[in-house]
């Protein structure tokens, strides 16, 4: 008899976690867009990542203590520390390091490439995730599922390009309006400065820089797939609760987060303070991102990395549609075509696999000379 599927209210946790992840990721995209909107005081994203890890560490520690007391009626700090830092805890240092390198490469790529090129190439992480699922988890993907993954990659790339173009147009429009108002007041001098700004904002065609950006985004895609699948393998194939594994992952991620603050925003943080630019929107974004990290762990435990990719892709489509009402974005033909590809890919991927029909010998079949059957022993 097959093992019972974990469920909540009769609904498998696999599907509940995927739906919750889609909703959470949609909310995060919208909140981040509001927090980083034109005219708002900027905050240092590296500090937000560090706070995000601290929040996850606190929440997961509290949940681990709660579950321990619930199961045993008592809590021993020494046993807790042994669980966190003993045994195979070192394994979580690997995905923590991979995620840190990936995030830095993503930052390099986003600055070296124009937004459209970055958005398109970064979606290759969907395919690298599937590849590592086959290599590390020995998962079998039929040709139809590979087709669905290619469709998903193309579809979300188109949607992301449209979204990127909309954001760039909004920022350009806002900046252009400000510069036009100023130039009318100050005359030809500021008009010349405006032209210089527009030229500086134009995408760079420097070939070495573009090559570095492409290499960075390709390696980031590989590391994204490897880190995600490796973490999934740890969650599914080793002892330890989801909360405990998240404690270990956050603990090993903190040094890398501190290093990122120093390298990326060290000077600004020293001058303006760690919490410069923070307000309720930024705090909400951090809380939403922390929740997302915990939800992802549940998804990896009860679903898998590939389905996670579908859930986050759908959330991008949802947030893009919501941005029409919130930010006045426009939906174009590229977006519609990309959305159709994403939805079609989701449907195709979730089609049940065709059962493998084993060939059977017809009734009354007699083996030929020298051929064995299940009724007669082979001739020697």
What are the beta bridge partners of residue 8?
11
At 370, the pLDDT band (50, 70, 90 cuts) reads: low
Residues of the chain with pLDDT > 90, as a percent, come to 42
Query: In the structure, what pLDDT confidence band is assigned to residue 111 with cuts at 50, 70 and 90?
Result: confident
Domain residue limits at 126: 7-349
Does 165 fall in a domain?
yes
State the pLDDT at residue 278.
94
pTM: 0.77
Neighbours of 326 (CB within 10 A): 11
Tell me 286's DSSP state. Answer: H
What pLDDT digit, counting tens, does each position of 256-287 carry?
999 989 988 899 999 999 999 999 999 999 99
The 10s digit of each residue's pLDDT in 206-242 is: 567 888 888 998 999 999 999 999 999 999 888 888 8
How many domains does the chain fold into? 1
Task: State the Cα–Cα distance between residues 378 and 380, nearest whole angstrom.
Answer: 6
* Residue 368 located in a structural domain: no
1-15: pLDDT as tens digits:
445 667 777 788 888
Q: Is 9 left (phi over 0), alpha (psi -120 to 50) or beta?
A: left
Residue 199 banded pLDDT, cuts 50, 70, 90: very low
pLDDT at 355 over 90: no
Residue 55 has pLDDT above 60, yes or no: yes
In a domain, 355, yes or no: no
Q: Which has the higher per-residue pLDDT, 207 or 127?
A: 127
**369: pLDDT strictly greater than 60:** no
Is 364 contained in some domain? Answer: no
The CB-side HSE value for 49 (13 A sphere, CA atoms) comes to: 20
Give percent above pLDDT 70 in the chain.
Answer: 80
Does residue 194 lie within any of the structural domains?
A: yes
What's the whole-number average pLDDT of the chain? 82
pLDDT of 202 higher than 80: no
Half-sphere exposure of 40 (CA within 13 A, CB side): 18
- On whether residue 18 sits in a domain, the answer given is yes
Higher pLDDT among residues 345 and 238, named by residue: 345
* Residue 75 falls inside a structural domain: yes
Evaluate whether 326 touches 30 at the Cβ level (below 8 Å): yes
- Give yes or no for residue 181 having a pLDDT over 50: no
Cβ contact 265:107 at 8 Å: no
For residue 187, is pLDDT > 50?
no
Q: Tell me whether residue 367 is in a domain.
A: no
User: 371 pLDDT band (50/70/90 cuts)?
Assistant: low
């Amino acid at each position: 008899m097959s093992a019972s599927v974990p469920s909540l209210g009769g609904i498998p946790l696999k599907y509940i976690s995927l739906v919750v992840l889609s909703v959470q990721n949609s909310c995060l995209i919208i909140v981040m867009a509001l927090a980083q909107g034109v005219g708002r005081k900027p905050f240092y994203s590296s500090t937000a990542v560090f706070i995000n890890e601290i929040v996850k560490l606190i929440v997961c520690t509290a949940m681990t203590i709660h579950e321990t007391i619930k199961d045993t009626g008592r809590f021993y700090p020494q046993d807790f520390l042994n669980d966190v830092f003993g045994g195979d805890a070192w394994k979580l240092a690997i995905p923590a390091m991979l995620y840190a390198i990936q995030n830095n490469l993503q930052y390099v790529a986003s600055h070296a490439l124009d937004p459209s090129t970055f958005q398109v190439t970064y979606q290759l992480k969907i395919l690298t995730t599937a590849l590592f699922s086959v290599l590390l988890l020995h998962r079998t993907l039929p040709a139809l599922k590979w087709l669905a993954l290619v469709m998903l990659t193309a579809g979300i790339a188109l949607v992301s390009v449209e979204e990127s173009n909309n954001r760039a147009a909004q920022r350009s429009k806002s900046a252009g309006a400000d510069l036009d108002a100023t130039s009318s007041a100050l005359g030809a001098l500021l008009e010349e400065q405006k032209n210089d700004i527009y030229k500086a904002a134009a995408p760079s065609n420097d070939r070495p820089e573009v090559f570095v950006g492409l290499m960075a985004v390709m390696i980031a895609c590989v590391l994204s797939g490897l880190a995600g699948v490796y973490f999934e393998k740890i969650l599914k194939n080793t002892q330890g609760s989801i909360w405990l594994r998240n404690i270990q992952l956050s603990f090993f991620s903190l040094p890398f987060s501190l290093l990122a603050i120093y390298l990326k925003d060290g000077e600004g943080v020293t001058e303006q303070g760690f919490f410069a630019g923070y307000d309720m929107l930024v705090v909400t974004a951090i809380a939403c991102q922390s929740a997302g990290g915990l939800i992802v762990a549940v998804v990896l435990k009860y679903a898998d990395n590939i389905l996670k990719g579908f859930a986050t892709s759908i959330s991008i489509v949802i947030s893009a549609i919501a941005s029409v009402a919130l930010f006045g974005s426009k939906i174009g033909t590229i977006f519609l075509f990309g959305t159709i590809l994403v939805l079609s890919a989701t449907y195709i991927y979730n089609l049940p696999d065709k059962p493998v029909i084993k060939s059977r010998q017809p009734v009354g079949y007699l083996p030929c000379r020298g051929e064995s059957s299940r009724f007669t022993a082979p001739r020697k």
